[in-house]
Amino acid sequence: MSRKFFVGGNWKMNGDKKSLGELIQTLNSAKLDSNTEVVCGAPAIYLDFVRSKLDQKLGVAAQNCYKVAKGAFTGEISPAMIKDCGVHWVILGHSERRHVFGESDELIGQKTAHALENGLCVIACIGEKLDEREAGITEKVVFEQTKVIADNVKDWTKVVLAYEPVWAIGTGKTASPQQAQEVHDKLRQWMKANVSEEVAKSVRIIYGGSVTGGTCKELASQKDVDGFLVGGAALKPEFVDIINAKA
């Protein structure tokens, strides 16, 4: 079963209308591999702006959402609001949400369930911290995180799993292609044992953590690496090179 290569750009809390407008122009005019699905994660306040300017063949994602449709939740946004802006994706469980803002596995699971029930597609993030890798508990950590997500998913065609070793995010350290492949392979085995063989074969597992134009081709050649979630490099013209990693 062939899995369509997927490249997400997570712009995080960066950009303004001028700089994002220039980035959008670059993406709209670039020759992008048509076999790659591209989704740009914009700051919530710019979702409408980005969706109106970005070529329709490229997707847009919110970087977070809440677990209910509306109500007295100051500062939050709901899947219904995201969809109202013409946006169809949301990033959930990013390590910065987990470790900077203290989101629990349970909350991320609830958000995942609500987003999917309301018709959004989800980029669900998992990954171990440096002390966890050094303690040899990478698998334990990512399997626990994956289980909470999996318990809340009915339709896996709407989910992309993003493995992001926390020690590699924004540090300039990248997991070696072999390290990434090893965890992706273990995740696929976990899916086979705990979800189904069909889902294990079809679900896209993408890698995140200091992906650049220089590292993307070798990472993309690994058989269980189905794409990337790109941070800093997604704000630069080299994002085009990463999108075209398989071309």
The residues assigned a catalytic role are: 94, 164
Contacts 24+ apart (CB under 8 A), 51-54: 51/85, 51/86, 51/87, 52/86, 53/21, 53/24, 53/28, 54/24, 54/27, 54/28
Give the helix, strand, coil percentages of the chain, each rounded to 5: 45, 15, 40
Closest by CA to 143, choosing from 156, 170, 161, is: 161
Backbone angles phi, psi at 120, to 5 degrees: -90, 155
Nearest-angstrom CA–CA distance, 158 and 214: 30
Token pair of 82 as six digits = 């995201």
